[in-house]
A and B are shown apart, each in its own frame.
Chain A
Amino acid sequence: MASADPFDSALDLLRRLNPKDTSRNVSLLCQIAPSLTEDLLESVDVPLSVKRCSKTGRDFLCCDYNRDGDSWRSPWSNEFEPALEDGEAVMSSERVRKMEVKANDAFDVYRELYFEGGISSVYLWDVDDGFAGCVLLKKSVSPGGKGKAASWDSIHVFEALDRARTAHYKLTSTVILNLGTEAEALGSMDLSGNMVRQIEQDMPVEDDGSHVANIGRMVEDMEYKMRNLLQEVYFGKARDIVGDLRSIPSIKETEKDKATHREMISKMAR
């Protein structure tokens, strides 16, 4: 076997181990192989943590893109929580911060329309030939009486490269969906995981407002597709695999029925 790359192996491992433990497993991997720390924190998506913006009182979401050391930047105030001790952080340009404010307002509406609750945060930063950013959405439902907590985390990371009158967008989206239920008759059932999708697209741009609308449309379409995909995998595929392991009807009866059916069809075809 060719010697594999430790980073690729770490990603492969995280793709196999229980997705519910991804946060914990990432920290364990960083402990075992400290040289992988930076790459792992940058490329592995984990459920988003929540902080409160002390200036506006509003909650915001934290990820590697709004982090500086142990502080996270609030999209509502543009200030770090807790405040940075050692001087100023690298802040985005005025143009990009303006778009960021607009995008946060727009995705706040999106969040309310689709999630009817939850938290959203958008972070943008400058790159050569354009800008990049991430759109974060999170909704958690606490267990009431019976059942387990459920949560949805979307992490959309994109790059927008300026061309003449258009922009080239590259979007990578991860949805982390954790579900579970517990009941006397059922025992406990945990259905958790994440799915990733990518898309690239060129769209017309008139002004910076077009960027917000274009990103909005891309994220909306992507989440629509991913929600359907998650529905299919979590409730269709997983259930079918259980059915492949064990059949409720007798296998012999099912085989007999199939044989009879085949016979009928072949007689009709004659």
Chain B
Amino acid sequence: MPSNSEALASFVESAPPGELSNVTNAIKTIAGDSSLQSLGPALERYNEEQFTTVTLPGSSQPVVVSSYNSLGDGRYFDVESQSSFAFDHNTQKASAVQSYALESKNADLIKSILKSLSTHSNEHYPSSSLGVYPIENDGAIAILLVANKYSPNNFWNGRWRSQYTFSSGQLTGSIHVDVHYYEDGNVRLLTDKPVSASLSSSASASEIVRQIASIERKYQEDLNKAFGSLSEGAFKGLRRQLPITRQKIEWEKISGYRLGQDIGGGRAR
């Protein structure tokens, strides 16, 4: 068995989009206020992996928190707003904003990707936040996109996350979709799609973003097809809507069914 603090950390990790504070509040009630202290690393991991967005004081544009734009000591930077900020992983609030100048040999490409990606995301995501950062000692570029939609009044929340690394012409990464529906139940969609594509090592920002756009479009189309095939395949295979006779059972005559319709003895799995 994992330790109590490992167990609580696994609860944080599994928190649905937009419901982290509900999860930590429940944990507090069950395990006591002091339990939150041990959750620090788990909360940091959650925020960085889920690309938590935060609005900087004095700004209206949310910026992304991730391992790719971490400066250490709880500080992160944003290219677009040219600022760095302290982030409280527990309250998900930003403070101590400072100006931040991007220093990278790829600075121009990074800014162009941000611009192209912003045009693309406005076309296909009703609401999204972006991040493009130099990583691996300036040897690669990380490109992030996160789109959240929270509708707790209708008992659902969703998140789309894409992450790509561009390095010597190779674009690799993954797309994750996380949907939670919880009216009279608890239903969760979790997807993980690894992606990769080859471009020229001197690919322009618009070429890179065009590739991303085509990968994401194809993925959503494949996902929509998968909903259809699960519904027609696995779901139908588990339980019929009606018996093969297309009639509901006549329960008064149930004992006669066995003889009349030669039903197997129930041993078959």
CB distance from A138 to the nearest CB of B (A): 10
Find out whether the CB atom of A190 lies under 8 angstroms from the CB atom of B249.
no
Let me know if B240 and A114 touch, CB within 8 A: yes
B126 proximity list for chain A (CB < 8 A): 244-245, 247, 251
Interface of A (DSSP majority class): helix
> Chain A nearest CB: distance from B151 CB in Å?
8
Alpha-carbon distance A216/B267, docked complex (angstroms): 21
Q: Which residues on A sit within 8 Å (CB–CB) of B2?
A: 28
Stretch at the interface among A5-13, A125-133, A261-269: A5-13
Assess the B239–A139 pair: CB atoms within 8 A.
yes
Tell me, in angstroms, the Cα distance from A21 to B177 when the chains sit together: 18
Q: Is B243 an interface residue (CB 8 A)?
A: yes
Interface centre among A190, A244, A247 (most CB of B within 10 A): A244
A59 to B266 Cα, complex, angstroms: 9
A231: Cβ under 8 A from any B Cβ: yes
Name the residue of chain A whose CB is nearest to the CB of B160. Answer: A245
Pairwise interchain contact A14-B186, C-beta atoms closer than 8 A: yes
- Asked whether, in the complex, the Cβ of A246 is within 8 Å of the Cβ of B216, the reply is yes
Q: Is the CB of B239 within 8 A of A191?
A: no
B223 contacts partner chain A, Cβ-Cβ < 8 Å: yes
- Asked whether any CB of chain B lies closer than 8 Å to the CB of A227, the reply is yes
Cα A115 to Cα B191 in complex, Å, equals: 28
By the criterion CB–CB under 8 Å, are B191 and A187 in contact?
Answer: yes
CB pair A5–B29 under 8 Å, yes or no, is yes
Cα A12 to Cα B221 in complex, Å, equals: 34
The yes or no answer to B153 lying at the interface (CB within 8 A) is no
| The stretch of B4-12, B65-73, B201-209 that contacts the partner chain | B4-12
Q: A116-B240, A235-B231, A235-B235 are in contact. Are A247 and B186 (CB under 8 A)?
A: no
B window 212-268: CB within 8 A of A: 216-224, 226-231, 234-235, 237-245, 248-249, 251-252, 254-255, 257-258, 263-264, 266-268
Counting chain A residues whose Cβ lies within 8 A of the other chain, the interface size class is 35 or more
Q: Are A195 and B187 in contact (CB under 8 A)?
A: yes
Q: Evaluate contact between B193 and A13: CB separation under 8 angstroms.
A: no
- B234 with A150: CB separation less than 8 A: yes
Min Cβ gap B266→A in Å is 4
Q: Please, which residues of chain B bring their CB within 8 A of the CB of A251? A: 122-126
**B interface residues, how many (CB within 8 angstroms):** 89
Pairwise interchain contact B149-A9, C-beta atoms closer than 8 A: no
Q: Convert B157-191 into 0s and 1s, putting 1 for each residue whose CB lies closer than 8 angstroms to a CB of A.
A: 01110000000000000110101111011111111
Question: Any chain B CB within 8 A of the CB of A31?
Answer: yes
Whether A195 lies near B1 (C-beta < 8 A) is: no
**Quick one: given A9-B30, A115-B239, A181-B226, are A187 and B189 in contact (CB under 8 Å)?**
no
Give every chain A residue within 8 A of B241 (Cβ-Cβ).
224, 227-228
Is there an interface contact between B251 and A13, defined as CB atoms closer than 8 Å?
no
User: Which A residues lie within 8 Å of B240 (CB)?
Assistant: 113-116
With A109-B254, A196-B184: A245-B159 Cβ-Cβ less than 8 Å: yes
Which residue of chain B has the shortest Cβ distance to A210 in the bound complex? B252
Residues of A within 8 A of B125 (CB): 245-247, 251
**Residue pair B221, A248 in contact (C-beta under 8 Å):** yes
Give the Cβ gap from B188 to chain A, nearest Cβ, in Å: 5
B213 to chain A, nearest CB (A): 10
- CB pair B193–A250 under 8 Å, yes or no, is no
Q: Is the CB of A15 within 8 A of B254?
A: no
Q: Is B80 an interface residue (CB 8 A)?
A: no
Whole-angstrom CA separation of A192 from B187 in the bound complex: 6
Contacts of A245 in B (CB 8 A): 125-126, 147-149, 158-160, 177
- A81 partner residues in chain B, CB cutoff 8 A: none
Tell me the complex Cα distance, A119–B266, Å: 7
- The residues of A that contact B123 with a CB separation of less than 8 Å are 250-252
Chain B min CB distance to A45 (Å) = 11
Q: Provide the B10-24 mask, 1 if CB < 8 A to any CB of A, else 0.
A: 110011100100110
Beyond A32-B4, A114-B243, A241-B189, 19 extra complex contacts between A and B, CB < 8 Å: A3-B29, A13-B27, A14-B186, A16-B23, A17-B15, A28-B2, A109-B263, A118-B269, A179-B230, A188-B192, A191-B188, A192-B187, A193-B188, A213-B252, A237-B181, A241-B181, A242-B179, A248-B221, A252-B122
Task: Name 21 interchain pairs, CB-CB below 8 A, sorted by A.
Answer: A9-B26, A14-B186, A17-B23, A18-B188, A19-B186, A28-B1, A32-B4, A36-B30, A117-B268, A186-B226, A189-B230, A190-B191, A193-B187, A196-B185, A216-B251, A227-B239, A227-B241, A228-B241, A244-B149, A245-B160, A251-B124
Task: Please list the 7 inter-chain residue pairs (A to B) with the smallest Cβ-Cβ separation, ordered nearest first.
Answer: A193-B187, A187-B193, A195-B185, A213-B251, A113-B243, A9-B29, A28-B7
